[in-house]
């Protein structure tokens, strides 16, 4: 057994050498209001319990530790990464702890909270065109990466991303549940789906791997439509059993349902995934459904989606919920 997992269920959640070591072991909560029948149970894996409040803490740690093990990071080299916010924040925290300079590229229409948190951790920010979403950030970062003064972990093409879930998130799920009928996650970099999917299907080949994908042209924070033209290199579509489209409107509505029905204060991509998890729950006769809640709602407060009437939010389907 990996000693990292020996800390599970220790008093006070375990004792760690530093904040980076404390990443993971997030709670999984049953959502009774999301279960349409007694034989079907729906669980939310709450990644907001990570140190910076998102699942990307797992990924950022895996990216940095992999680079360290390979000797890819040297003194004086700046780490560069494209992000819609969460990965950048996670990298910024780890780089602050480990002493690495960091530059992130992200869309210029992200919520102010993300910018403030990144600056708080000392990261330098380069903005890409907001209308292009995270794809635009990737494009600009790849151009900048030709400078030898940068090292780009590149979460979209780095196997350390899915391995963070294969060796971490999925193991935690299987420690808590005897079986998983379906795992649902948003279609973003592909790391969450690939890493968890491979591990869960090794445990039970019948486990359904389901992706929630935004409608083409609608930018749900942290997610991407494959129709937009960029398929992350780590994403293996053949591993997916289902890929279900979700609108901005449904993402917002289900984000509110998580808050109103279960008290879960989550980001908008969690709403997109919750909508699909509830759909799958209505289609199967029995079993456990697990969906990932990538982050909390703190970084989205300025958007007004939690309290404002829907009519006051404008054209939901044309809004970038960064």
Q: Which residues are catalytic?
A: 56, 269
DSSP class per residue in 155-180 = TTT-THHHHHIIIIIHHHHHHH-S--
Q: Which positions ≥6 away from 105 have C-beta within 8 Å?
A: 80, 81, 82, 83, 126, 127, 128, 137, 140, 141, 144
* Alpha-carbon distance values, 16 to 50, 161, 165, 238, 290 (Å): 14, 23, 20, 38, 28
CA distance 264 to 289: 17
Sheet holding 182-186, edge to edge: 28-30, 40-46, 287-293, 182-186, 208-214, 242-246
Q: Residues 223, 213: contact at Cβ < 8 Å?
A: yes
């Amino acid at each position: 057994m990996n000693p990292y997992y020996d800390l599970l269920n220790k008093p006070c959640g375990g004792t760690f050498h530093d904040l980076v070591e404390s990443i993971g072991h997030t709670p999984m909560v049953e959502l009774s209001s999301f279960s349409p029948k007694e034989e079907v149970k729906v669980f939310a894996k709450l990644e907001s319990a990570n140190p910076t409040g998102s699942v990307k803490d797992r990924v950022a740690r895996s990216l940095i530790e992999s680079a360290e093990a390979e000797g890819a990071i040297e003194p004086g080299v700046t780490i560069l990464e494209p992000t819609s916010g969460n990965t950048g924040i996670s990298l910024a925290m780890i780089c602050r702890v480990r002493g690495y300079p960091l530059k992130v590229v992200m869309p210029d229409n992200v919520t102010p909270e993300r910018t403030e948190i990144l600056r708080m951790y000392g990261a330098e920010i380069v903005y890409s065109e907001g209308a292009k979403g995270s794809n635009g950030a990737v494009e600009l970062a790849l151009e900048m990466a030709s400078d030898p003064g940068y090292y780009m972990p590149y979460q979209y093409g780095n196997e350390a991303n899915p391995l963070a879930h294969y060796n971490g998130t999925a193991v935690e799920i299987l420690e808590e549940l005897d079986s998983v009928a379906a795992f649902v996650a948003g279609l973003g970099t592909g790391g969450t789906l690939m890493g968890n999917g491979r591990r869960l299907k090794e445990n039970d080949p019948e486990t359904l791997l389901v992706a929630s994908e935004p409608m083409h042209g609608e930018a749900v924070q942290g997610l991407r439509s494959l129709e937009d033209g960029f398929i992350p290199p780590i994403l293996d579509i053949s591993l997916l059993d289902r890929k279900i489209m979700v609108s901005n409107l449904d993402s917002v509505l289900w984000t509110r349902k998580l808050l109103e029905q279960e008290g879960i204060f989550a980001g908008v991509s969690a709403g997109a995934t919750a909508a699909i998890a509830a759909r799958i729950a209505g289609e199967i006769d029995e079993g456990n459904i697990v969906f990932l809640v990538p982050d909390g709602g703190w970084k989205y407060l300025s958007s007004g989606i939690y309290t404002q009437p829907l009519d006051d939010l404008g054209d939901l389907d044309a809004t970038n919920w960064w």
